[in-house]
Chain A
Amino acid sequence: DQQVKQNSPSLSVQEGRISILNCDYTNSMFDYFLWYKKYPAEGPTFLISISSIKDKNEDGRFTVFLNKSAKHLSLHIVPSQPGDSAVYFCAASEAAGNNRKLIWGLGTSLAVNP
């Protein structure tokens, strides 16, 4: 079951540059997408989300882009900072009232080098 795919297990970028993390999905019923950041020995921390009625959502250094026709979303971090080094998970849910079971990707480990 690969409804949410993050095809890059790891990414390394230089401090100050842009980090782009990608996510693909197969279930056209997904209507809400989230990005979580996770440090070792901690739970996932919510970063940013986007509804399927939008194609972009921005929060500070983080921007999520959604391309519904391609079933693709991406997270941009600009500028990247060493503290951004973590595993980033893409997750998706489909509308079922307010019950929002999340389907997760495998994660991308981001390393931001000083």
Chain B
Amino acid sequence: EPEVTQTPSHQVTQMGQEVILRCVPISNHLYFYWYRQILGQKVEFLVSFYNNEISEKSEIFDDQFSVERPDGSNFTLKIRSTKLEDSAMYFCASQGYNEQFFGPGTRLTVL
């Protein structure tokens, strides 16, 4: 059964450093999403992506964040200058018809 994969599973970085979180969505899906979950809080929408451009982004998704699909398979989330409050689980999702299927997540720890 096709699945969404994410790498790395855990990323530790220093505040101010750039990180890139990678996702490989399900191959015939067209809509892609990033969400995050800070420990003890709700899962929060960050950004949706379709046809090589952002469809919608949340208030969290400021200028420090960017997404791209560089090669038609990988879908990446870049945080240019990480802050302590960026520490969270980051989930990638890809959408078939209506349902979104999630990867296992990347735990980002900013020190």
Chain A: residues with CB nearer than 8 A to chain B?
Answer: 32, 34, 36, 41-46, 49, 51, 89, 91, 96, 98-106
Contacts and interface: CB of A to CB of B under 8 A. Distances in A.
A101 B102 contact: no
What does DSSP make chain B's interface, helix, strand, loop or mixed?
A: strand
B5 to A, nearest CB: 10
Most buried by A among B4, B6, B35, B43: B43
Interface of B: 4, 6, 30-31, 33, 35, 41-45, 48, 50, 55-56, 58, 91, 95, 98-105
Given A99-B55, A104-B42, A42 B105 contact: yes
Contact of B56 (A41, A99, A106): A99
Contact of A89 (B31, B43, B56): B43
A49 B45 CA distance: 19
What does DSSP make chain A's interface, helix, strand, loop or mixed?
A: strand
Nearest to A44: B102
A45 B42 contact: no
Contact of A101 (B41, B48, B99): B48
15 contacts: A32-B98, A36-B102, A43-B4, A43-B102, A43-B105, A44-B43, A44-B91, A44-B102, A96-B56, A99-B56, A100-B31, A100-B48, A100-B95, A101-B48, A104-B44
A44 to B, nearest CB: 5
A38 to B, nearest CB: 9
Contacts of A102: 33, 35, 43, 45, 100
A45 B103 CA distance: 9
Contacts of B50: 98-99
